[in-house]
Amino acid sequence: MKNLHTKLQALFPVGELTLQRPNLGFVTVPKDHLRATLMHLQRTEGFTHLILLTAVDWLEEGQFQLTYLLCNRTKQLDLGLRVMIAREGASMDSIHDVWPTAATYQRELREMFGIDFPGSPHLNEEFILEGWNDIPPYRRDFDTKKYAEANYNQRPGRQTHDPATHMKQQLYPEGL
């Protein structure tokens, strides 16, 4: 993995390598260099499989972190490329032409985080949240409790319990 990182550093402005285990590492790549880095990894380094594309909302920093997790099955290596993008007007180039499966991930990220991937097929069609008209629910500023209270009726007679006390009563009904 360290040899691969050295090769990438010679070609692209990638960040430091963070090893999670010997065959899994992560590097940060500037947004403008992501496509070229992905293409190199796919065509030259054998990372032919896109395992995952996901996002993290760094609300306090005003950024999203996109993570593209790639696999080289022959060498049994997984490499994650992290890209930081502005949260305001969040947009990233689509990679569905490189890995067609990325279109599904990009649709999900569009719907759940509000990140745009211009040119990605079916991006603006409802996918998971049919009829949704609020801010994307995976954004950290989405208030789940407020949304639930406004949209779901409280059932009469429903009681809530302190979890710790409730479990003690369930496990030790006679107060042992």
Q: What is the pLDDT of residue 26?
A: 98
| Separation CA 23–CA 71 (nearest Å) | 10
Q: What is the pLDDT of residue 155?
A: 74
Reported pTM: 0.85
Q: What is the pLDDT of residue 8?
A: 97
User: Would you say 25 and 5 are in contact if contact means Cβ atoms under 8 Å apart?
Assistant: yes
Output the tens digit of pLDDT for each of the chain's 176 residues.
Answer: 999 999 999 999 999 999 999 999 999 999 999 999 999 999 999 999 999 999 999 999 999 999 999 999 999 999 999 999 999 999 999 999 999 999 999 999 999 999 999 999 999 899 999 999 899 999 999 999 899 888 887 777 777 778 888 888 888 888 65
Q: What is the pLDDT of residue 44?
A: 97
Q: Side chain identity at 120, as an amino acid letter? A: S
Residue 50 vs residues 54, 71, 78, 152, 154: alpha-carbon distances, Å: 11, 6, 10, 38, 43
Q: What is the pLDDT of residue 176?
A: 57
**103: buried, middle or exposed (CB in 10 Å: 19+, 13-18, 0-12)?**
buried
DSSP string, the chain: -HHHHHHHHHHS-----EEEETTEEEEE--GGGHHHHHHHHHHTS---EEEEEEEEEEGGGTEEEEEEEEEETTTTEEEEEEEEEESTT-B----TTT-TTHHHHHHHHHHHH--B-TT-TTTTS--SSTT--SS-TTSTT--HHHHHHHHSPPPTT-----HHHHHHHHH-TT--
Q: What is the pLDDT of residue 111?
A: 96
Q: Which two structure tokens, joined as six digits, stand for 121?
A: 């097929």
| Separation CA 102–CA 115 (nearest Å) | 14
Q: What is the pLDDT of residue 157?
A: 76
